Structure 1
Amino acid sequence: MDRFGLRVAVALLFATVGYWTPVSGQIVQEQTVQASAVVLNEVLVGPLSKIPHAMLNDAHGVAIIPNVIKGGFIVGARHGRGLLFVREKNGVWHAPVFITLTGGNLGWQAGVQSSDIVLVFKSERSVQNILSGKLTLGADVAAAAGPVGRQGAVATDGQLQAEIYSYSRSRGLFAGVSIDGSVVRVDQLATGDYYRAAVPGGPVVVPELAQQLTFAVATLAGGPTTVPPVDGSLATPNPALGDPGALAQRMGTQEPDILRNQLEQLAPQLDVLLDPQWRSYLALPPNLFVGGSHPTPEELNAVVVRFQTVASDPRYQDLSAQPAFQSVFGLLKHYQVALTAEASTLNLPPPPAG
């Protein structure tokens, strides 16, 4: 597809944005997808695009992380949420999984509060590190500021030695930038929230906006995708290319162990806000933190009821509005669903032989 055709495709993508209404629990994720579509259009598709398309031809993955917030003046830590698009060995691009980028330092322009980050992954290892746990840029793999404009268009393979190339856009200015020290992780909870199965145990449904965005990335990078061309209609999977949501379903699995570990990390952030009486009232089941075991669904339900009581009472709005409270409460509800589903599975011996 030529650049004009690609701009038409992305224009249809933006038309889709206006008609998509996310269900409850998907709003934050949908905002991330929409913001990523804007970044894609401005830095890769539009007439002033700066990332050379040649940089994407043999890419194993592309990450778009809009609105990365800085934590200090001139140089400071940062945090952002975005999308990771992964290309399989056969060239097929998957629907994106949600990721977070945290830590590290970056030279910011004075007065700039946020920046859009694009990462181009040139090795399979760099992508697999993220999917397997986390990736620290500059430590686990070599990362470098990406070439822009004509500089990138004429660069040869011998000149491009890094495994990841990073780009940043702030206040309309765009440049390759080093972000060594940043940690990229898959956000399993956000991925699981965004991709829902139509029936229990079935394949997840890839929302139309994510399908359209995946097609745009695949068109830019060259190679097939698990969704058909953008034509303004509801895209349907191409069976010959596999399940478009397979990677998202695998990475978004909300297993009880994952949710328990996340609760262990977040609970102390809520505890520091509470006095002893409130800590006792909102205490999580003690076996949650001992020996890797899980509470019973009944034990967890009692805790969820207490959190719900606080959240629904206007007198405690100062507490229920705290991000730490909302995060722990949200995780508890997901954990409750996961434990209930696990408890309902029959523990049967192997079926009869023959």
Structure 2
Amino acid sequence: MRKIIWLIFLSLGLYGGDERLLDSSNAYNIVNRTNKISPSIITNASAIIVFPTFVKAGFILGATVGRGVMIVRDENTNEFIDDRITYHQNSVWSVVPVRLGGATIGLQVGYENNFIVMYLMNRGIIKDIYDNKFTLNASTSVSFMDHSANIGTMSDIGLSDIYVFTNNSGFFAGANLGGSVITVDDKIKVDPNSYGYKQLIQAISVIR
């Protein structure tokens, strides 16, 4: 069983940058169709992380692994902007490949893959991810949003550092992201002129 889990996780890093961008675009659209995401969350987010591949697998001892991208919006400064940028509707977006890793303990058998979308409201988290030192723990307020929630404005839900949505309504019942680390995935390069890049920027720029 351990060997199978290892092979599954190893295979997650084998697909290229443009494929990850296209998968992220599709995952983002699916999660948005599944959930009633407040436009206030989307417009106030400093960054969006999309994991088109978020795997939970194990037998008693398990692991969570995510491969995706972080799309950073910077409307006023160039603090987090690098050469991977595009301009859309007076906003500047940079797209950076990221990965997530964590360990779990408890009653769990098998393999599960989900789409995850995280809206980052705290710009300090972005810097920590760039510095490869961000961990999901008690110091970060995270709201796991149920797909049936009817949310209108930010005042309806309070202020959290991160809002998390998924395509699977039952995912959060067994989710354990505590201690998971999100870092930049330096092994993957993205091309701002690629089809996948343009599709991703177009997807996140639509306010539903």
TM value normalised by structure 2: 0.71
Matches of 2:102 and 2:200, distance apart in 1: 27
Distance change in 2, residues 1:77/1:178 (3 Å) = closer
Give 1 or 2: higher helix fraction: 1
The residue number in structure 2 matching 1:86 is 72
Residue 31 of structure 1 pairs with residue 29 of structure 2: no
Equivalent residue number for residue 215 of structure 1: 202
**How far, CA to CA, are the matches of 2:170 and 2:36 in structure 1?**
7
User: Which deviations, in whole Å up to 9, do the C-alpha atoms of 1:142-200 show, x marking residues without a partner?
Assistant: 2231354444335516x423201222334xx3666662211100112213xx33xxxxx
The counterpart of 1:164, out of the listed 162, 171, 181, is: 162
Deviations 1:22-78 (A, max 9, x none): xxxx9522222222122112111x3x4443333212000100001212231487321
| Secondary structure, aligned partner of 1:77 | strand
Identical pairs, percent: 24
Pair 1:220–1:139, CA change in 2 (3 A): same
Unaligned 5+ segments in structure 2 are 1-13, 77-89
Q: Are the equivalent residues in 2 in contact too, given 1:66–1:117 (CA < 8 A)?
A: yes
Q: Is the 8 A contact 1:97 1:186 kept in 2?
A: yes
Secondary structure, in 3 states, of the residue corresponding to 1:153? coil
Find the aligned partners of 1:152 and 1:107 in 2 and give their Cα distance.
Answer: 33
| Cα deviations by residue, 1:108-166 (Å, 9 ceiling, x for unpaired) | 98755212111110111111211122310125532231354444335516x42320122
Q: Distance in 1 between matches of 2:21 and 2:139?
A: 27
Alpha-carbon contact 2:58-2:109 (below 8 Å) kept: no
Q: Could you tell me which amino acid in structure 2 is paired with residue 218 of structure 1?
A: S
Are the aligned partners of 1:81 and 1:100 in contact in 2 as well (CA < 8 Å)? yes
CA 1:57 to 1:178, structure 2 compared with 1: closer, same or farther past 3 Å?
farther
Partner-residue secondary structure (3-state), 1:129: helix
CA distance in 2, matches of 1:118, 1:149: 16
State the partner residue of 2:86. Answer: none
Amino acid paired to 1:81: R
Higher relative contact order (CA 8 A, sep 6+): 2
Q: How far apart in 1 are the matches of 2:130 and 2:43?
A: 21
Secondary structure of 1:161 counterpart = coil
Q: Render the CA deviation track for 1:77-122: whole Å, top value 9, x for unaligned.
A: 2112101000114372414110001004499987552121111101
- Change in Cα spacing, 1:75 to 1:29, as seen in structure 2 (3 Å) is same
Q: State the AA in 2 paired with 1:186.
A: V
Number of residue pairs matched by the alignment: 180
Give the Cα separation in 1 of the matches to 2:98 and 2:38.
24
- Root mean square deviation of aligned Cα: 3.1
TM-score, normalization by structure 1: 0.44
**In structure 2, how many angstroms separate the alpha carbons of the residues matched to 1:100 and 1:141?**
18
Contact 2:39 2:207 in 1 (8 A): yes
Cα separation, partners in 2 of 1:125 and 1:211, compared to 1, 3 Å = same
Match of 1:60 among 46, 52, 58: 46
Alpha carbons 2:71, 2:95 under 8 Å: kept: yes
User: d(CA) in 2 for partners of 1:34 and 1:115?
Assistant: 16
Q: 1:114 maps to which residue?
A: 113
Aligned to 2:82: none
Aligned to 1:76: 62
Cα distance change on mapping 1:169 and 1:150 into 2, 3 Å: closer
Relative distance call for 1:106 and 1:144 in structure 2 (3 A) is: farther
Q: What SS is found at the alignment partner of 2:100? A: strand
Are the equivalent residues in 1 in contact too, given 2:22–2:200 (CA < 8 A)? no
Kept after mapping to 1: 8 A contact 2:45/2:121? yes
Report the residue type matching 2:62 in the other structure. G
Q: Provide the C-alpha distance between the structure 2 equivalents of 1:110 and 1:51, rounded to a whole number of angstroms.
A: 31
